[in-house]
Amino acid sequence: MCGALRGTCGVPAAEMSEGGFTVMSVMRSAAIVKASSGDAGVPRARPAALRLAGPELAGRELAGLEPAGLEPAGLELAGPELAGPEPAELELAGLEFAVIDLETTGWSPDAAAITEIAAVRVRGGRRRGEFASLVNPGVPVPPGIEDLTGITDWMLASAPSVAAVLPGLLTFAEGCVLVAHNAPFDVGFLVAACGACGLAWPGFTVLDTVMLARHVMDPDEVPDCKLGTLAGFFRAGTSPCHRALADARATADVLGWLIRRLAHRGVRTLDQLKGWPSVVA
């Protein structure tokens, strides 16, 4: 099991320090939702309820998240930037992204199932919340996949079904641009799972960091645009290890650096990025 998840799975509630900020994790139906508590040393308020604000998010609660001494300033999603221009017109640095990653039993949603889902919500390079859950695929994990991910049948035996996990993920990502490294893979599995569960796919705008990296990285900088290669080049805070939360965190770090590179090239809005259809769909 990747160290990024060891110490969270199976623990009802825990407070830990990660990357200089405190994280409170709360287990609900084997799903983990996390949120940063703000900078060390800043007194933490106790809001009566933790909700997502903004025109498209008003009144929605983060699934499974309790207001246990969390700093609202690090979680507030309201602000003038969400009440003004359309998302496509906003600068990328001000957009809300939900960076997702999946682990599965195989490579095609027609023949394989999801074993783990994670998402990291970021804006301006700052993490604003995390969602993670193991998923019982209903089929055995092939030995090769078990070796790759470290996820075993025993770990998944008491995990919730994908039908139980998907609504929380969709609520968590609502209003965001969805981001993934090799997005067709992850989105393909999520769309297929929603269809099988009778859930409507929200039709997110999707950004693929693989294709974005191929546009902005110089060939003499990296030999390829694999997540591990890019995370190493940019010295991401988390190393990818074929576990969903670790890989989503690494992808979020890589995304931040790629957006900085875009700004240097004068590409600052989602509308401008749509000129590269392989990057944004």
Ordered by where they begin, the domains of the chain are: 92-273 (3.30.420.10)
Q: Ranked by mean pLDDT, which of 15-19, 70-74, 170-174 comes out on top?
A: 170-174
Is 99:180 a contact under the CB 8 Å cutoff? yes
Counting Cβ atoms within 10 Å, is residue 218 exposed (0-12), middle (13-18) or buried (19+)? exposed
Specify the pLDDT at position 89.
65
In this structure, what are the phi and psi dihedrals at residue 30, rounded to the nearest 5 degrees?
70, 10
Specify the pLDDT at position 88.
54
Banded pLDDT at 94 (limits 50, 70, 90): confident
- Per residue in 136-145, pLDDT (tens digit) is 999 999 999 9
DSSP collapsed to 3 states, the chain: CCCCCCCCCCCCEEEEEECCEEEEEEEECCEEEEEECCCCCCCCCCCCCCEECCCCCCCEECCCCCCCCCCHHHCCCCCHHHHCCCHHHCEHHHCEEEEEEEEECCCCCCCCCEEEEEEEEEECCEEEEEEEEECECCCCCCHHHHHHHCCCHHHHCCCCEHHHHHHHHHHHHCCCEEEECCHHHHHHHHHHHHHHHCCCCCCCCEEEHHHHHHHHCCCCCCCCCCHHHHHHHCCCCCCCCCCHHHHHHHHHHHHHHHHHHHHHCCCCEHHHHCCCCCCEC
In this structure, what are the phi and psi dihedrals at residue 114, rounded to the nearest 5 degrees?
-80, 135
103, two tokens: 């682990």
Q: pTM for the complete prediction? A: 0.70
Is 179:209 a contact under the CB 8 Å cutoff? yes
- Per residue in 191-232, pLDDT (tens digit) is 999 999 999 999 899 999 999 999 999 989 999 999 999 999
Looking at per-residue confidence, does 61 or 270 come out higher? 270
67: left (phi over 0), alpha (psi -120 to 50) or beta: beta
Specify the pLDDT at position 36.
43
Cβ-based neighbour number of residue 257 at 10 Å: 20
